[in-house]
Amino acid sequence: MKTITAKFRSKCYTTGQTINRGELIAYDPQTKRAYKLGHEPKEEQDGAGAMVRANEEAFFDNFCQQNNL
């Protein structure tokens, strides 16, 4: 998520409010979506980050259990 200045008029993806040219916005380059500041998503949309984190924690727990740590 990047904070940039809007170069043209558009709409906030989450609220539908108008974003005017020159306003500071949050922009997600992966999904190419613009958000008004304060309305951007805090977590990943697809949950991929949470799944990776859960797999890493499970691997670490298993490793500790097998090596008596």
| pLDDT value for 45 | 55
CB atoms within 10 A of CB 34: 20
The 10s digit of each residue's pLDDT in 43-64 is 655 667 778 888 888 988 898 8
Residues 6+ apart with CB under 8 A from 41: 14, 35
- The pTM (predicted TM-score) of the whole model is 0.58
Task: For the chain, give the mean pLDDT.
Answer: 87
Token output for 22: 């020159």
Q: How far is CA 54 from the centre of its chain?
A: 18
